[in-house]
Structure 1
């Protein structure tokens, strides 16, 4: 499917008012997407674990206006308080998706959103937040077009979420999601994410992710700026080829339960992401000294114990510690004994692999 497939025909129903709530999770990429083209199209494909605990809950209350407005009509609240600083991002999102949701100017919306994790924690909330909002808007469209099938609903929700935040398209479903055209994945798309279509060994079910909050401050460089710096980057093309190759390699890794192969790809991907930041112009470093201390501690512990704990990173200093459920007891004890000391105010979040957004 392509974007034009998501432009609706005339709505078959009329709705005066209503209220809808969705809870949508964050996700953590295993093969990273870094660099994008126009209209939020990724420069390379990615695959992610959908999370469970780290989530955004969004309620949209809507009422039809007496006549269609010239602009978008909405009030925005974050955890019960007005949040004007979020308004420009929502306006940009509405402008991008209006072609696909032609009812937007016909309603007034009250958007009330909250996170299950502290807003200042350094956990990116754009994936969970934009996917939750996209799902609420899709539920309104489902009211207007009751014959819509569930498959189309999810694909379009992912498509819309992508226009708000690229990685948000991977938060609609779970537990493994793939986004971006990939020659070895039939049905893959740059327009929306798909459920990972290949066999996955049981060892990867219920995988654990403990997120160590190393630095909760504002990033010195936003992800949007970082993505843009991939244009003209001296190593960009090689990086994009690497991501494609790693996605292909993961097919055997996931099917065979190859934990060592998984570790090699996931950690390499995390370090490559940050290598791209350090070699762009202007260059920047988002890792902190404590990030590196944690990585070295993980490597030493893994060698000492023959466990399969590994790390990945987002575009920031925080560390996602990944490990199979069968090793939860020993790894969690290690985290408490040796790693929590490197977290800001000793803060960390215990999460696990989830299965996508839920209508509340």
Structure 2
């Protein structure tokens, strides 16, 4: 079966840094974000017996560093769907990859939706968010629409994102100026690993819950001066 999905990137108002479980991509803290409707990944997944191995093409290339992550995610979905069929994946962004614009979020969100549908899975939004998170943490935030909260949780089933306000709740925009298409030198994954080495990490984590509550209140009341 062949399916195509489109997913947005997202921008975090309160970021998460660090993971309490690397394999499950459980974040050290929750976060608040907004989806970016014009920064999109379009992904097509086809499971077919004609394929003798997984074929993954990202941005027209079969040499991208994320290809093994994509295959691992396909394996996760195959196991859940109880199938062994190989797949062909075609993925394209309308913005530069690996430049700090959360291409992995939109990429793994689109991959999760397309692959799950192509594999015959019927998942609700929470289940899809959980599955996307295992591929790339912030991808879980690109599954719900609008303004989103990622609940950090204590295990895989309790760590997922949900919409707190719909896209039309507040008419604000994020202006993205692409000044370079060069890939960033330090990956986000490495950044998360380094978070725990900061002398301010524990202090930051102790304040996050309060900041999330404040951010949700500001979003509710649409107070841009406080938000900024």
TM-score when normalising by structure 2 = 0.85
TM-score when normalising by structure 1 = 0.56
Residues 314-336 of structure 1: CA deviation (Å, up to 9, x unaligned) = xxxxxxxxxxxxxxxxxxxxxxx
Task: Work out which of the two has the higher radius of gyration on C-alpha atoms and give 1 or 2.
Answer: 1
Q: Displacement of 1:237 after TM fit?
A: 1.8
The 8 Å contact of residues 159 and 169 in structure 1, kept in 2 or not, is answered as yes
Q: Displacement of 1:108 after TM fit?
A: 1.8
Structure 1's consecutive aligned runs of 4 or more residues displaced over 6 angstroms after TM superposition are none
Name the counterpart of 2:130.
159
The 8 Å contact of residues 74 and 115 in structure 2, kept in 1 or not, is answered as no
Residues 25-80 of structure 1: CA deviation (Å, up to 9, x unaligned) = 100001111111212001000010011110100011121479xx9xxx31011344
Name the counterpart of 2:34.
49
Change (3 A) 1:226 1:79: closer
Structure 1 unaligned regions, length at least 5: 1-17, 183-188, 264-360
Structure 2 unaligned regions, length at least 5: none
Residues 141-170 of structure 1: CA deviation (Å, up to 9, x unaligned) = 4x3x5xx4xxx4221211111111100000
In 2, the alpha carbon distance for the partners of 1:119 and 1:129 equals: 9
Change (3 A) 1:23 1:99: same
In 1, the alpha carbon distance for the partners of 2:80 and 2:217 equals: 38
Name the counterpart of 1:20.
3
Q: Displacement of 1:122 after TM fit?
A: 5.1
The 8 Å contact of residues 127 and 165 in structure 1, kept in 2 or not, is answered as yes
Instruction: Summarize the alignment of residues 30-45 of structure 1 with structure 2, pairs less than 5 Å apart.
Output: 30-38=13-21, 39-45=24-30
In 1, the alpha carbon distance for the partners of 2:32 and 2:64 equals: 33
Which structure's residues are more often helix, by fraction?
1
Residues 90-141 of structure 1: CA deviation (Å, up to 9, x unaligned) = 23334555553432xx112110111112447653310011110100122134
In 2, the alpha carbon distance for the partners of 1:223 and 1:81 equals: 21
Give the CA RMSD over aligned residues.
Answer: 2.6
Change (3 A) 1:122 1:226: closer
Q: SS where residue 131 of structure 1 aligns?
A: helix
Is 1:129 aligned to 2:129, yes or no?
no
